[in-house]
Amino acid sequence: MPRGIIYLVGAGPGAPGLITLRGVECLKRAEVVVYDYLANEQLLNHAPATAERIYAGKIGGRHNQDQDEINRLLVSKGLEGKVVVRLKGGDPFVFGRGGEECEALCAAGIPFEIVPGVTAAVGASAYAGIPLTHRDFTASVAFVTGQEGKDKDESTIDWQHLALGSGTIVFYMGITTLRRNMQRLADNGRSPHTPVALVRWATTSGQQVLTGTIVDIADKAEAIGFKPPAVTIVGEVVGLRDQLRWFDNRPLSGRKIIVTRAAEQAGEFSAMLEARGATVLECPTIKLIEPDSWSELDVALTDMSRYDWLVLTSGNAVRFFFERLNALQLDSRALGGCKVCAVGPKTAEVIRTYGIRPDLIPADYKAEGVVAEFARLGINGQTVLYPRADKARDLIPQQLEVMGAHVMSPIAYRNVLPDRLCPEALFALEKRCVDCITFTSSSTVRNLSHLLGIDLLTDMLKGVTVASIGPITSKSCRDLGLKVDIEPAEYTLGALTEAIAQHFLISV
């Protein structure tokens, strides 16, 4: 019987970007992924779609599977000859029970590899702005389980040595035993005024930090209902947080923002907002699909030599245009001497990925800007191809034809309603815990209105900041009874992100 291999991979403390390159390599090879509660589920996207995914986590102290079952599962999959990734929050060998799993694999003769991860103490301290060591404060740090002795009459930890012999102390999984652990430190000689920090969901957009001292941190935690998972950091270094904090004082920290772009487009915008501290809920209100027929576009693509200009007004138009070109066994050479107009820098950036440098980018990044540029250049007697969405405005073809151009505007893609809205985003709106909703095209707001109804739309967005990418989208918002709070001077995602950040900085 073939033997597989088990990779025990540290998933890091929460942020998906903190996994190691080796960890990602292993996930890409996986046939089976066995993952924990604390392992960010986004990491599963690195595994092949065909890989079996098995949740073996633990929530609030309750195991989905106990450790013996997990050990047997890993052995079983290994004996089947599978490539298995055991994805564990933090580091497998730091309070991760990785040693026990390796012992079971050794006993069964199954090869394994340990891929270290950023352990919770290191991730939490860094993202809270608390150095674990600092030559002005301490040269030692101790990692301790906060759950030790929970069901025992006596603790096996040397509390006196821990209290007096360690500079910084980090308790893992110690929120439910916080009061007892702090009392033991005080009873064994640690000053009750020693600074303490609790860090929950470290390195993620949901990170929470609560500070106090040994004598009052438990009262503070109980007063606000501070819950696990969290680590407890004890030591004078905690006092540096006010000076060194960087992660949770970004302009959008603590803000919940809804992104309504299509699912395949949302990632870039979401990443911009998250980089500024926002918690992003992706709620696509549009779905982009192929046209009912390709015939009109195909006619154009098979004889591009008759066109003087190709006008592309969105990244979507670019993608659908070149994907269809490829489907016809053609490439960018088919454009020949045809000049290319991109509506703005982001559209131009997408065009460049296909090896084409746009000849024209209007200063005003909307349809009116395209019309103005061609009016300046003169287009009488020229032929223009304008692949578009089914719901695009007719401004460009109408105005160019008024100028004497011949315009063909085939449908390159359709904008339809999604099957449903994101339940998490709807729940957040119902609970009145959304700070901002973003609209990056008229379709995003109109479709949301169709899906919710105008009355429910306006009710759910009461008190929610509305951010629109530009005047056309803003008009659509106002036509539906919405007040637009944010509209950048430049109609790009980057400018919209900066405008949102500036808005909330001013409103603090």
> Catalytic positions, please?
36, 58, 173
Measured distance CA(134)–CA(126) in Å, rounded: 13
In the numeric block, the tokens 């315009």 are attached to: 407
Residues 6+ apart with CB under 8 A from 222: none
Cα distances (angstroms) measured from residue 67 to each of 36, 62, 71, 220, 499: 12, 12, 6, 34, 49
Count Cβ neighbours within 10 Å for each residue of 215-248 and write b for 16 or more, e otherwise. eebbebbeeeebebbbbbbbbebbebbeeebebb
Helix (H, G, I), strand (E, B) or coil at 122: helix
Measured distance CA(78)–CA(29) in Å, rounded: 14
Q: How many CA atoms lie within 13 A of 167 on its CB side?
A: 14
Please spell the DSSP secondary structure of 451-484, one letter per residue.
Answer: HH-HHHHHHHTTTPEEEESSHHHHHHHHHTTPPP
Burial group, residue 93, by CB count within 10 angstroms (0-12, 13-18, 19+): middle
Cβ–Cβ < 8 Å for 33, 77: no
Residues 6+ apart with CB under 8 A from 165: 140
Measured distance CA(189)–CA(352) in Å, rounded: 66
Cβ–Cβ < 8 Å for 473, 492: no
